[in-house]
Amino acid sequence: MLELDRIGKKADWRENLSIEAEQELNQILEAVKKHRCAYKDAENVQIAQLWCGLIEIKRMINKLNDRLGYIETVLNALFKARDEERDKLMKSLMKF
């Protein structure tokens, strides 16, 4: 059964979210707005909006993966250089 507030209107489910969750949801909703021309003509606008939300989340994941890949590349290069220096040091110490 629908939850009604004191006036008899349906309560907004978002009011039950934490502040952080509500802010995150609002950020996603703002990103979805740029797809308005695509979902406004859909047979089921709400479902189309959800799919557009998934598109935006996928884009965020891709961006994070790209950044993580870059960080991994930099760190791998640093560790490789460190390992090479350590090997050189070990070889020089073995000579003595």
Average pLDDT of each block of 10 consecutive residues along the chain (96 residues)?
A: 53 87 93 94 94 96 98 93 86 81
pLDDT of 7 reads 62
β-sheet bridge partners, residue 4: 10
pLDDT of 9 reads 66
| Cβ-Cβ contacts under 8 Å for 39 (sequence gap 6 or more) | 32, 45, 48, 49, 51, 52
| Cβ-Cβ contacts under 8 Å for 85 (sequence gap 6 or more) | none
pTM to 2 decimals?
Answer: 0.66
Burial of 52 (0-12, 13-18, 19+ CB in 10 A): buried
